[in-house]
Amino acid sequence: MTRQFISTGSTYEKLAGYSRAVVEGNWVFVSGTVGADFATGTFAEGPQAQAEKAIDTIEWALTQAGAVTADIVRVRVIIPEPAHVETVSHVVARRFGSARAANTTICSPLAVPEAHVEIEVTAIRRKRRKTR
């Protein structure tokens, strides 16, 4: 099987030489994703909006890989401000909750000062029944 690389075309990916996601067999590894619009380089306003935008991008990457959020088995959330943990956690729970994935939340500075959150996921694609 050939490794598949998924890219948003963002300047961050080009600068650091990485892919938004990598598919290896049935595994999908989505890189840490911040709440930015990669087409414009602008960040959503505040931790809640950035978490929503980051998850939008993650869902896009999963779709490109043939996966869905229910396939997520691991979530890693990095938040620079401990005061934002509850706000971001509510977004993650609402958007990924049905996956019941293993989760680690880390409070640590991020490489991009405008970023209030970075979210990374690992998923395993499952066979789905075809609908008519």
Alpha-carbon distances, residue 55 vs 1, 2, 37, 51, 123 (angstroms):
28, 26, 12, 6, 14
pLDDT in tens, 4-56: 999 888 877 888 888 899 999 999 999 999 999 988 889 999 999 999 999 99
Residues linked to residue 127 through DSSP beta bridges, in sequence order:
none
With DSSP H G I counted as helix, E B as strand and the rest as coil, what are the percentages for the chain, rounded to 5?
A: 35, 30, 35
pLDDT band at 132 (very low <50, low <70, confident <90, very high): low
pLDDT given for residue 9 in this prediction: 83
pLDDT, tens only, 47-106:
999 999 999 999 999 999 999 999 999 999 999 999 999 999 999 999 998 999 999 999
* Domain ranges, ordered by start, for the chain: 4-124
Q: Where are the alpha helices (DSSP H) in the chain?
A: 11-16, 46-64, 85-96
Given the candidates 3.40.50.970, 3.40.710.10, 3.30.1330.40, 3.20.20.70, the CATH classification of the domain at 4-124 is 3.30.1330.40
